[in-house]
Structure 1
Amino acid sequence: MQNEADRCTGAGPAVRNAVGGSVSRWKELPAGLPAPVHQLIVRLRGLKDRSELGTRQLSARTGYSAKSWQRYLNGRALPPREAVEAMCRVGGDDPTRLLALHEIAAQHWAEGRPDATEPPGSPAAAQEPARQERQPHGRLLRTAVVAGAVVTVLSVSVALLLAVRLTDARAQLARERGDTVTTVPATVTESLVPVIYTCRLERADGRWYAGLSRTTDVLLSNTQVGLEVAEAQCLLRRAGTAPGDVDGVFGPKTRRAVERMQKRNGLIVNGVIDPPTWQALREADPK
C-alpha cells in the first residue's frame, strides 16, 4: 500500500525501495515561485530521492513533520535553514552551497508571491479598498519599505553569487594545477576572502599568456569571478594598467584598468573585456 504521507504530496505513483521508502514522481511546482526558491526545492527533492526515504521516515530522521515536508517540497512554504541542513545530512551532501542558495531564496520569498494573495471574494479582499482609502500615508510607507527591501535583496544576491563563483574558481584552479590535497569546503564568509593568483607570463606564437586561461573570446564584466578574470588582470598589469590585486574578481578597479587600456589602444571604451580587448591584451606591447 502506498505511503499515505507520500500520496498527499500529489506526486503520483511511487516506486518502493528495499527499506520501505519511496522515490516520488514529483508534481510541477507552482508557476509563481521565484527562480531561487524553485531551484532550492528542486535540489531538496533530489536529496530526498537520493535518501530513498518516505516523508514519514524523513520526518523521523530530521525532526520536521511529514506535513511540513509536504509543504516544503511542493512549494507551499519555505523550509527553515535548519531543515535544509537536516536534509543535506540525510542526503549525504555538503550544505554550504545549498545554504547560500537558501539565503537568496529567503530574500525573494519575503517579497511575497502573486499566488499567495487572498482571492477576490475573500473578506480580506473586500475590506482592502476601504482600508487603503483611510490609510494613504501607510500605503506610501509600505511602498518605501518594499523598495528598500528590493535593494537589500539585490545586494545580498550579488554577494552570494560572487561567493559561489569564487568557490568554483578555487576548485577549478586546484584541478588544473593537479592539486590532490582534499580541503574543507569554504563557507560563504570564507569564500568572500579574495584569492591572490600568481601570474606566470610567457609568450607563445606572438601572444601573451599568464598561465590561468587561454581564452580569447570570453566576455568579462562587473561581478564576474574566475580564472578568466585573473588571466585578464595579469595581462592588464603587463600592459601597464594594473587593476590592483590579481584576485579573479571583476570589480571597479579592474573595470577602470580595462577602460584605460582600451583608450590607449584605440578600442571602444566600455570597461568590458570583449574579443577585441582580449586580442589587444594578448598581442600588444605595453603602451
Structure 2
Amino acid sequence: MARWRALPTGLDPAVAKLVSRLRQLKDASGRTMPELAKETGYSTSSWERYFGGRALPPREAVEALARLVGADVVRLLAVHEVADEAWRKRPSSAAADVPPRFEETENGPPAAAGTDGGAEPRRSSVWRTLLAAGAGAVVGAVTTALLTAPGAGARPAAAVTQRVVYACEFSRRDGLWYAGNSTTRTQQLVVDMTGSDVAELQCLLQRAGITPGGIDGSFGPLTEAAVIRAQKKFGLDVDGQVGPRTWAALRR
C-alpha cells in the first residue's frame, strides 16, 4: 500500500473526500502509478497531482479509474461533482504550495519535469501568487500616498481595476491559427496559471471543437480536461500540460 503524503492545508473537505477515495481505489487495485497511467490514458504526473490534491481530476479520469477497479461509477461521480463545485469556489490564492520539479537537460538550463517538451521551466503557482501580492502591495502604497498627500481630500478615489475580458478573433498567418490574445508557440502552461496565453489556448481549443468551459484566461480543471482531450485527439503524450507540441497541434 502506498504511503501517501498529507493533503495540502486548507483543502476543502469535499475535495479531500474525493482524493481520499481515489487513493483507496488506487491502493486496492494494487497497480503502480505507471500502470495506472497506461490503463487510464492519463499520465503519471497528472495522477500524482490528482492524488496529491494539487489539481482536481477531470470527470473522465475519475470514471476511468472507477471502471478500471470495478468501483461504483455513479457514486464516485457524485462525490466528484460535489468536489468540483467546491474547487470552483476556492480563492485564487489557494493554489497548492508545491515547488516545481526540475531535471537536467543536455542544452543548458534545467527544464521542468513532466512537460510535453517545452524548454521553459514550469512556473510555480506559489511564486506567481507571491509576485502578484508584491505588485499589489506596491500599488496599494502608491495609492495611499496619493490620497493622504496635502490637498488630496477633494481627490476622487482611485479607480478599481476591471476584470480582463478576452475574446477570440481568429486569423491565419504562415499556415498557423492565432486568436488575437498571444502569439506564443512555446509557453509552458499548467493548472492554476492565468493570463492572455491561457486565453489563447482556450480559444484554440474551442476552434478545435473542444470546449474549455469558457474564455476567461484561467487554467482550471475544465481547461485541463479539454487539453487532455486535445492531446488524445492529436496523438500526443497525455499529461494535461501545454508545451510546444500541443501549441503546434492546436495552431495548425
TM-score, structure 2 length as denominator?
0.42
TM-score, normalised relative to structure 1 = 0.37
Q: Indicate the structure (1 or 2) with the bigger Cα radius of gyration.
A: 1
